[in-house]
Amino acid sequence: MADFKVTELDEDLDFDSLAYWDVVIIGAGPAGLAASLTTAHRGLTTLVIEAKDKPGGQPQFLYADKKIVDIPGFPDGISGEQLSERTYRQAVDALVQFRFNDELVAIEDTDQQEKGEQLKRVVTRDGEYLCRKVLIACGLLHFPRKLPVLDALESKSVFYKVPKIGDYDGQQVVVVGGGDSALDAAVMALERSAKVDVVVREDVPVGKADSVDRVRQSGGTIHLSTEVASAEYQGGAIALTLTDGTQLTADYVVVQIGFLSAKETFLRLDVRLNDDGSIAVDPYFETSRRGIFAIGDVHGDIKLITVAWAEGIQAAIYAFKEITSPYWLNEKRLRDQKLTMIGEKITQAARVKASS
């Protein structure tokens, strides 16, 4: 029996025949999973739509084997994969429903009213879902940027995410990229006694200086101001020639050169964006479109799992309050109303002053 009193959803509820969902969440990364637990624990029917075939977001897809050491309560660290599995299990136990391998296309307003609220229609590649609230938790990073010269090899030894540690134990690994993800990958491979070369286009890697030091101290070689000019199979390995003439041989190549951003998706949502293209939100994580919230990496400066969790939980509770409290008890709406009244008073005072 949990200490936290949850309003359980009925296990026998036929989710497939719901006329509409209370909440639809886009993305099953840390923000989406934390939000989904929170709404389902409060008895709201919750659907999560995830583009990939598994939940977890970046910790699952980009650094499944990395030991994450900054999550409170895990003094010995926890891998991205374990953390994702645990959070997902918690969501499934709370009766959150998932649709994998499907992607958000648009969010439309409808004329349909339910309990005083205008429903939204979430349009995905494979379906349509009516709902009361939408939480956008699709992160900023979507598909990894590819390197054509390596992509052309169509090799199973070229990775755009960090492969399982055991896969390259003691092998020759070339990491392409100079950001934190590339340096993290290099450190992980070095820790598994791989021989590691890092190919960096810039004259100084853009990743953290201490990560650069860790690569060098662990025996990795960093090649600066150079790029992969050509690549071909040689025996069972891949032979790489860099633009400065250096020749490298690799059992595995890990390419970490950034991501194609999800910002295209944001443009389609017709919500106000910040100057950097991220989604603008108010202090309640609501976007410029009422009833649509944005949480996690899709906005804001601090990109951390715990921050994504916290935002997901807060937005979920605000959405819950809107669904369950009448207008006059809703602190956000009251605040908005107060601000409008103050604004009107200031405008009126200015008008009076101008005319006197």
Ligand X SMILES: Cc1cc2nc3c(=O)[nH]c(=O)nc-3n(C[C@H](O)[C@H](O)[C@H](O)COP(=O)(O)OP(=O)(O)OC[C@H]3O[C@@H](n4cnc5c(N)ncnc54)[C@H](O)[C@@H]3O)c2cc1C
Which residues lie near ligand X (CB under 6 A)? 26-32, 49-52, 57-59, 62-63, 68, 70, 103-104, 137-139, 141-142, 181, 184, 262, 265, 296-297, 303-306, 308
Cβ atoms 280, 266 nearer than 8 A? no
Rounded CA separation 327/115 (Å): 12
Min separation Cβ 340 and ligand X, Å? 31
Element at 184 (helix H, strand E): helix 180-191
Min separation Cβ 345 and ligand X, Å? 39
Residue 89, Cα to own-chain centre: how many angstroms? 18
Q: Between residues 83 and 231, which has the closer beta carbon with respect to ligand X?
A: 83
Min separation Cβ 336 and ligand X, Å? 26
Output the DSSP codes for 44-93: --EEEE-SSSSS-SHHHHT-TTSEE--STT-TT-EEHHHHHHHHHHHHHH
Q: Between residues 46 and 181, which has the closer beta carbon with respect to ligand X?
A: 181
Q: Between residues 164 and 303, which has the closer beta carbon with respect to ligand X?
A: 303
Min separation Cβ 192 and ligand X, Å? 17
Rounded CA separation 101/53 (Å): 5
Q: How far is CA 24 from CA 113, 131, 209, 315, in A?
A: 17, 6, 41, 12
Q: Between residues 52 and 145, which has the closer beta carbon with respect to ligand X?
A: 52
Q: Between residues 27 and 205, which has the closer beta carbon with respect to ligand X?
A: 27
Min separation Cβ 52 and ligand X, Å? 4
Bridge partners for 286 per DSSP: 293
Min separation Cβ 304 and ligand X, Å? 4
Q: Between residues 54 and 321, which has the closer beta carbon with respect to ligand X?
A: 54
Rounded CA separation 223/217 (Å): 15
